[in-house]
Amino acid sequence: MTGRNPAKDKIAIAGTGLSPYARDRGATTELALLLEAAVAAIRDAGLTAADVDGVVGGGLLTGGIDPATVVSALGLPAVTWWARAVPPVMNHLIAASNAVWAGACEVALVYHSVYRVGGFSRSAAADPFRRRATLGLPDGRAATGDGHTDPEPWSMHGSAGYAAWAGRYLASYGATREDLGRIAVSDRSNAAANPNAVLRTPLTMTGYLGGRMVREPLCLYDMDVPIDGADAFIVTTTERARDLRQPPVLVHAASMGMTAPPEEHLAAGLDATGQPLAARDLRAKSDLWLDDIDMFFPYDGFTIVALRCFESYGYCGTGEAGQFLADNWDGAGHRIMIGGRVPVNPHGGSLSEGGSQGAGHVREAVTQLRGQAGHRQVPGARAALLALGGFFFNAQGLVLRAD
């Protein structure tokens, strides 16, 4: 952790592209979704294939699409930097920002795709082509080069680890399922104004508490919703971005955090994980902090992750997030409104817009900071704090600001 931030405000997000989220996009491929988003992002920035000289990305469930495939499919004529990134999306964005800052490329295309596959969703398993989408891929931690570890139900790698730590959190601090439920209810209330959100029917606390139990204490509404979809972003220098079509959104500060051991079942404690480290590193790099930001984007692949973001980023102490949410609850809007002013995941988050490992959070922050969010525009939004990724081996932080 250095606190150095020589690239502060020097790199910008100059374009966004979306392949719309849906519970099921049907007979399509992950590459098709990705390309739809990529073309939209390049055009959004007012650029062409010849302008893109950097490519970075990757998706989650299939192992993702390699940059070479994207270069081929988009016919990019001259690429001088590329990297394959493991989700969540901040890995992709930080790699792109660093590459542009270092001069490895001038205009980086960042892509992130999600494609429902057999073994992950029942409806996807009904499609024989989606069943084959993971053919040959290793299970569990074997996918990370760590020999063999079983997937569920024998291992905590992934969802079960979050459930187990949620259970320990509730027991340790006297927190309740209602504390988790506030995250889910708030997201759903916000999603009503987001046409890209796949879940827009209002969710009450009673409805939340009656949700089908999946991995105790996490129920159906504590876990993000599987979707097909993709996002893409154009990252370039702020100087270049100012000459392009859209208002630049500046990367003010970015951080990552990982601590040993990062395995879910081995973490020494929630305060010892990567999430609070990413928060501390971001705090050291950023001139803007909690009193300066207009929107908060805690990652909500699981409600417990978002709940902990309020603690790790300093809104309250460990074990106090439930009370903090109760104190900052907008009863009329059925949502969290920090200090009556700062909305939380105004697009509905991964729980309601769709699970995209933070890509939706970044897109929404950029859209809001451009002033292009329509009915859900946060008035006067100038800065956003994003607390992305999970607890263990993929925690990240980001401060974006308008130019």
Partner 1 sequence: MAGPVSSADSHLPGQADLDIFGDMPDETPAAAEPSDEEVLERFPSVRLDHVNKAYYKGLLRHELRVNRCRECGTWHTPLRPICPSCWSAEAGPVPVSGRGIVYLLTFLHQGPPGLGVDYTGGFPLAGIELAEQPGLRVEATVVDCPRDQLRVGLDVELTWIDRDGAPWPAFRPAGVPS
Specify the DSSP element, H or E, that contains 237.
Answer: strand 228-237
**CA–CA separation, 269 vs 357, rounded Å?**
23
The only residue of 9, 24, 127, 152 in contact with partner 1, by rule CB under 8 A: 152
Looking at residue 388, its amino acid is: L
Task: Tell me which of 2, 26, 128, 212 binds partner 1, using CB under 8 A.
Answer: 212
| Span from 210-218, 311-319, 365-373, 382-390 in contact with partner 1 (CB under 8 A) | 210-218
Q: Is 149 in the site for partner 1 (CB under 8 A)?
A: yes
| From 31, 34, 90, 160, residue interacting with partner 1 (rule: CB under 8 A) | 160
User: In the chain, what is the straight-line distance between the N-terminal and C-terminal CA atoms, in Å?
Assistant: 27
Smallest distance, partner 1 to C-beta of residue 210, A: 14
CB of 318 to partner 1, least distance (A): 17
Q: Rule CB under 8 A: is residue 156 a binding residue for partner 1?
A: yes
Whole-angstrom CA distances from 17 to 302, 364, 390 are 25, 11, 24
Output phi, psi for 305, to 5 deg: -65, -45
* Residue choice 46, 63, 158, 167 for contact with partner 1 (CB under 8 A): 167
- In 115-216, beta strands by DSSP E: 213-215
Near partner 1 in 31-50, by CB under 8 A: none
Those residues whose C-beta lies under 8 Å from the C-beta of residue 118, and which sit 6 or more positions away, are: 124, 125, 127, 130, 131, 132, 133, 134
b (16+ CB within 10 A) / e for 192-226: bbbebbbbbeebeeeebeebeeebebbbebbbbbb
| SS3 (DSSP) at 216 | coil
163 binds partner 1 (CB under 8 A): yes
Please, what is the minimum distance in Å from the beta carbon of residue 44 to partner 1?
Answer: 39
Shortest distance (Å) from residue 272 CB to partner 1? 10
Does 215 participate in binding partner 1 (rule CB under 8 A)?
Answer: yes
- Could you say whether residue 192 binds partner 1 (CB under 8 A)? no
**93/103 Cα distance (integer angstroms):** 15
Q: Which stretch binds partner 1 (CB under 8 A): 207-215, 277-285, 328-336, 394-402?
A: 207-215
> Residue with structure tokens 């029942």?
122
- Per the DSSP assignment, residues forming a β-bridge with 403 are none
Encoded one letter per residue, x for contact with partner 1 by CB under 8 A and - for no contact, window 299-328 reads ------------------------------
| Residue 138 in the binding site for partner 1 (CB under 8 A) | yes
Least distance to partner 1, CB of residue 122, Å: 10
- Pinpoint the alpha helices (H) of 49-176: 67-74, 89-102, 122-125, 128-131, 159-173
195: its two tokens: 């046409």
- Closest contact distance (angstroms) between CB of 253 and partner 1 is 28
Which is closer to partner 1, CB of 68 or CB of 126? 126
> Is the CB of 10 or the CB of 131 nearer to partner 1?
131
Both structure tokens of 135:
């053919």
What does the per-residue mask of binding to partner 1 show for 118-137, with x meaning CB under 8 A?
A: -x------------------
CA distance 115 to 179: 31
Residues 21, 81, 115, 165: which binds partner 1 (CB under 8 A)?
165
**Of the candidate residues 68, 268, 292, 374, the single one contacting partner 1 (CB under 8 A):** 268
Q: Is 154 in the site for partner 1 (CB under 8 A)?
A: yes
Interacting residues of 266 by C-beta distance below 8 A, sequence separation 6+: none
Q: Which stretch binds partner 1 (CB under 8 A): 206-214, 287-295, 335-343, 382-390?
A: 206-214
Cβ-based neighbours of 340, under 8 Å, separated by 6 or more:
328, 330
AA identity, residue 30: E
Q: Which residues pair with 84 in a beta bridge?
A: 57
Which positions from 235 to 264 touch partner 1 by CB under 8 A, shown as an x/- string?
Answer: -------------------------xx--x
Binding site for partner 1 (CB under 8 A): 119, 138, 142, 146-149, 151-156, 160-161, 163-165, 167-168, 171, 212-218, 260-261, 264-266, 268
